[in-house]
Amino acid sequence: MILAGSLTAHLIQTTRGIRIQDVRFTGTNGTQMSALLYIPMNATAKTPAPAILAVHGYINSRETQDGFAIEFSRRGYVVLALDQTGHGYSAPPAFANGFGGPDGLKYLRSLDIVDKDNIGLEGHSMGGWTVLAAAAAFPNDYKAMVLEGSSTGAPFAAEGTPQYPRNLALVFSKYDEFSQLMWGVAKAQHVPESEKLWKLFGAREPIEPGKIYGTKENGTARVLYMPTVTHPMDHISPQAIGYSLDWFQGNLSGGAALPADNQIWYWKEAGTLVALLGFVTLLLGTFEVLLTLPYFAQLSHPATPVNAARNWRWWLALALTTFVPVLTFYQFFRWGGLWLKASKMLPQSITNQIVVWAVLNGIITLAVTFLLGRKPAFDTRWLPSVLISLLTVGVGYAALAAADFLFKVDFRFWVVAVKLMSATQFKYFFVYLIPFVAFFLVIMRGVHAGLSIKGDSPGKEYLSNIAALSLGFLVFLAAEYLALFVNGQLLTASEPLNTIVAIQFLPLLAMVAGIGTFTFRRTNSYLPGALISALLVTWYIIAGQATQAMVR
């Protein structure tokens, strides 16, 4: 699955002879910057090609722009998919040096394969502020811009005018969660009525989506597009990607004139999804094979479920396990932001918030388990459990490293991505690992003590454990987005970022519930599943989050 998915993704992103290079370059104040460079066959030193700087949003990375980068490069554009400062493999701190945008544009213009008179800038969310910083630093070094789910002006970009930025397409989805932050309106559908947007367009009445204002000859062209998706869905929206293709084909000279609806990027997304599923399967298979080795055979014991039947205690344990983590989500995240600021020891702000949420929910789970009086006879062989967990996750990491080396892909679908850690991220991996180990030890013990039922089929056991850890987030997200699609606002309209962060909790918790159940059924121990989950989740979060503080 990993081989087939990764190879498929590689063939899609290198179609038409496109080459992809993992580049590193030195930016402002010696900051080491990272990017993926897409080079179409037509781009040579003798025949320079038009180029686009493409930048992801907050707590994403260069690979998040794959859909855009693939389609831009298929049309003959050189593409630099940049890691913002403090994101991916670019050095921290986040937000520094114009988010890395000026350095990215400067590097792109330094390439002899680039037509310096035909450069476009494209950015999603905070990536929009990144390319706006590049435009402000080098106002004569680009020709057109696409902002995806982003804005000019406060809090992080210069105020937009009819002249700045040059030749702009704004792609702002009808259900974007950040309309208040970006354009000062409560609902995304009301963005055309934003006075802030009117100033950018030089208009005195609501903006008509799809209508071009100004002229591209003098750099004042403006257009608003509104695809029917949400903010994070811009990444996987043929509409959003198609609008950006149309705009650059109309404003940059050169390249291949493929229709905007001629898109293949989704096959790459399908390939990395298959690889992601294969990655989880590989972890389970590795664990099972390791159990057959003489040293680890001591861990192999059939599971001994704790509960005789589903009585009131069982249903209470299920309800508390399912819904307490969701009901505490926003409040514990707020406390995390107040109590655990980014520092040299704990340099990732959102990871710190997740840590506080995890620790507090671990304490609650411990109390509930104690009150319900569960004292199961679990096997607790620590040393072999630690070693088998390290080896299992190590095999998964090696598979990802191989896919990155051979095919230049990671394992992902949409915003759920398993990436290699940078050397900087690896420095504080073990610091963050400590609270996550504690959390998963408590959670896995609680799940298997409170919910395992004698005589249950494997299917029932898997479903009940997956429901216990992830059903609450499914209900929570369904309620949030039903409100958004019906009324134009999230239920908690003041929490758009944390709501989007919660999207990743759903598949991640379902995955660790499956891993925990698989390992428990073979060992009668919660330790291997808890340790594998802690290693995997810590790695996942560290590699995917922004680093706000300097790390020495």
What integer pLDDT is reported at residue 322 of this predicted model? 93
**243-258 mean pLDDT:** 93
| Residue that is last in its domain, among 263, 281, 310 | 263
Residues 368 and 488 in one domain: yes
**187-201 mean pLDDT:** 96
Q: What percent of the chain has pLDDT over 90?
A: 89
Tokens of 192: 């055309």
Distance between CA atoms of 45 and 229, rounded to whole angstroms?
Answer: 40
Dihedral angle of Cα 281, 282, 284, 287, to the nearest 10 degrees? 170
Q: Is the pLDDT of residue 107 over 70?
A: yes
List the domain range (segments joined by +) for residue 154.
31-263
**221-225 mean pLDDT:** 98
Kindly state whether residue 552 falls inside one of the protein's structural domains.
no
Total Cβ atoms within 10 A of residue 373: 8
Kindly state whether residue 20 falls inside one of the protein's structural domains.
no
Q: Which amino acid is at 157?
A: A
What integer pLDDT is reported at residue 501 of this predicted model? 96
Kindly state whether residue 9 falls inside one of the protein's structural domains.
no
**Count of structural domains, the chain:** 2
Residues 409 and 279 in one domain: yes
Total Cβ atoms within 10 A of residue 25: 16
Distance between CA atoms of 361 and 192, rounded to whole angstroms?
Answer: 42
First-to-last alpha carbon distance for the chain, in angstroms, is 38
**205-210 mean pLDDT:** 96
**274-279 mean pLDDT:** 98
Residues 330 and 213 in one domain: no
Q: Is the pLDDT of residue 57 over 90?
A: yes
Contacts of 444 (CB under 8 A, 6+ apart): 516, 520, 526, 527, 529, 530, 533
Residues 389 and 295 in one domain: yes
Here the CATH number for the domain that contains residue 215 is: 3.40.50.1820
Residues 404 and 481 in one domain: yes
**190-219 mean pLDDT:** 96
Residues 165 and 288 in one domain: no
Residues 481 and 495 in one domain: yes
Average pLDDT, rounded, for the chain: 95
Place of tokens 């100033």: 199
Residues 369 and 221 in one domain: no
Q: Is the pLDDT of residue 31 over 80?
A: yes
Please say whether the beta carbons of 150 and 125 come within 8 A.
Answer: yes
Q: Which amino acid is at 20?
A: I
Residues 369 and 457 in one domain: yes
What integer pLDDT is reported at residue 379 of this predicted model? 76
343-398 pLDDT, tens per residue?
999 999 999 999 999 999 999 998 888 887 666 667 789 999 999 999 999 999 99
Backbone angles phi, psi at 124, to 5 degrees: -105, 130
**454-469 mean pLDDT:** 92
| Residue that is last in its domain, among 214, 230, 263 | 263
Contacts of 177 (CB under 8 A, 6+ apart): 188, 230, 231, 484, 490, 496, 499, 500
Backbone angles phi, psi at 223, to 5 degrees: -150, 145
Distance between CA atoms of 400 and 418, rounded to whole angstroms?
Answer: 8
| CA geometry: angle 67, 73, 79, nearest 5 deg | 85
What integer pLDDT is reported at residue 62 of this predicted model? 96
Kindly state whether residue 11 falls inside one of the protein's structural domains.
no
Q: Is the pLDDT of residue 455 over 90?
A: no
What integer pLDDT is reported at residue 221 of this predicted model? 97
Q: Is the pLDDT of residue 313 over 90?
A: no
Residues 149 and 201 in one domain: yes
- Residue 110's nearest CA partner among 16, 217, 35 is 35
Kindly state whether residue 306 falls inside one of the protein's structural domains.
yes
| Residue that is last in its domain, among 234, 263, 292 | 263
Q: Is the pLDDT of residue 312 over 90?
A: no
Please say whether the beta carbons of 94 and 57 come within 8 A.
Answer: no
Kindly state whether residue 318 falls inside one of the protein's structural domains.
yes
Kindly state whether residue 66 falls inside one of the protein's structural domains.
yes
Kindly state whether residue 26 falls inside one of the protein's structural domains.
no
More confident position, 486 or 380: 486
What integer pLDDT is reported at residue 380 of this predicted model? 81
- SS3 assignment, position 51: strand
What integer pLDDT is reported at residue 452 of this predicted model? 84
131-185 pLDDT, tens per residue?
999 999 999 999 999 999 999 997 888 899 999 999 999 999 999 999 999 999 9
Residues 275 and 251 in one domain: no
Residues 180 and 195 in one domain: yes
